[in-house]
Amino acid sequence: MIRYYFDSQIFRYLNTDKQYDAVLLEVMESLREKVIMCYSDAHLDDLSASQQPYIDRDLEIMTRYVKDNFFSHDQIKKRTSCFLVEPIEAFHSKDYAKAKEYEANPLLVLDNLLKDAFIDDGDESGLGELFRTTVNSLFDLPIADYKSLTEKIPLDDEAQKMLSNLIPKKDILTIRDIAQQAFPYGSLIGNDKKEFSVLRNFTTKYLTEDISFESWGLDFDSKMANSSLGKDFISFVESSMSDSQKGDFYYKFNYAYTLLEIFGVDREQKKFTYKNLYNDACHAYYASYSDFLITNDKGLQAKAYILYSIFGIKTKVITMDDFKKMKSLLLSKEEDYETFTNTLVFDLESALQISEWKSLEKNSMIRTYLPQHHYFNYFNRLNVVNEEGRKQYVTLYCKRHEHANLYMYAEIELLTKKLMTLLGMDDDNKGAFLVEERDEKKNKFSDDEYIRRWTIKNLQFSLFTSSCYLALSVRPL
Residue 60 lies in a domain: yes
Domain shared by 369 and 280, yes or no: no
Residue 177 counted as domain residue: no
Say yes or no: 241 and 386 in one domain. Answer: no
Average pLDDT, the chain: 83
Domain boundary residue, one of 300, 332, 364: 332
- pLDDT over 70, % of the chain: 73
Instruction: Enter the DSSP assignment of 19.
Output: S
**Is 154 a member of any domain?**
no
Residue 339: domain span: 335-476
* 357 and 451, same domain (yes or no): yes
Q: What pLDDT is attached to residue 154? A: 64
Same structural domain, 339 and 326: no
Domain tally, the chain = 2
Radius of gyration (C-alpha) of the chain in whole angstroms: 27
Residue 346 above 70 pLDDT? Answer: yes
User: Among residues 309, 332, 355, which one ends one of the domains?
Assistant: 332
In a domain, 311, yes or no: yes
Give the E-state strand segments of 217-347 in sequence order.
Answer: 292-294, 316-318
On whether the CB atoms of residues 356 and 367 are closer than 8 A, the answer is yes
Whole-angstrom distance, CA of residue 376 vs CA of residue 108? 52
Residues 226 and 307 in one domain: yes
What's the whole-number mean pLDDT along residues 38-51? 94
Tell me, yes or no, whether 349 and 453 share the same domain.
yes
| Residues 242 and 355 grouped into a single domain | no
Q: For residue range 169-204, what is the model confidence (pLDDT) as tens digits?
A: 776 766 666 666 665 656 555 566 676 666 666 666
Are 265 and 414 members of one domain?
no
Structure confidence at residue 213 as a pLDDT band (50, 70, 90): confident
Does residue 106 surpass a pLDDT of 70?
no
Q: Is the residue at 126 inside a domain?
A: no
Question: With 90 as the cut, is the pLDDT of residue 23 above it?
Answer: yes
C-alpha to C-alpha distance for 26 and 43, rounded to whole angstroms: 22
- 142 falls within a domain: no
Q: What's the confidence (pLDDT) of residue 134?
A: 59
Q: What is the mean pLDDT of residues 240-252?
A: 86
Q: Is residue 160 part of a domain?
A: no
pLDDT in tens, 116-139: 555 444 555 555 555 556 555 655
Q: Domain end: 275, 308, 332, which one?
A: 332
> Quick one: pLDDT at residue 114?
54
- Span 13-29, mean pLDDT? 92
Q: Are residues 259 and 348 located together in one domain of the fold?
A: no
**C-beta of residue 44 within 8 angstroms of C-beta of residue 282:** no
First to last CA, the chain: 28
CA 117 to chain centre: 35
Q: 295 with 360, same domain? A: no
The pLDDT of residue 143: 62
pLDDT tens for 163-173 read 666 666 776 76
Distances in whole angstroms, Cα of residue 262 to Cα of each of 203, 236, 247, 267, 340: 7, 13, 23, 8, 49
- Of 57 and 264, the structure prediction assigns the larger pLDDT to 57
Is residue 114 situated within a structural domain?
A: no
Same domain, 328 and 342: no
Residues 6 or more apart in contact with residue 172 via CB below 8 angstroms: 142, 145
Pair (306, 422) in one structural domain: no
Q: What is the mean pLDDT of residues 322-345?
A: 85
